[in-house]
Amino acid sequence: MAKEYSNGEIKIKWQAELCQHAGICVRSLPAVYKPNSKPWIQINNASSESLKHQISNCPSGALSFTLISKQ
């Protein structure tokens, strides 16, 4: 099951079945990744640049992103 989160610039996709629950995302951006909250990814709590950098460090590929083109 994949979930998507958008801030208007970037769309994060999280694929639960791939997540290794290593917690790297939570440690690197604790204001965004909050496993005990709903939604657990609070995308507006970091810049798009920070999110891109962090997502590239997800070891499983559970997190990915696409850039939203401005019309």
Site string for ligand SF4, 8-37 (x = CB under 6 A): -----------xxxxxxx------------
CA distance 71 to 68: 9
- Our finding on whether 41 is near ligand SF4 (CB under 6 A) is no
Burial class (CB in 10 A: 0-12, 13-18, 19+), 17: exposed
Sign of CA dihedral 43, 45, 46, 48: positive
Whole-number minimum distance, CB 59 to ligand SF4, in Å? Answer: 6
Considering only 8, 30, 39, 59, the residue that binds ligand SF4 (CB under 6 A) is 59
**CB closer to ligand SF4, 18 vs 71:** 18
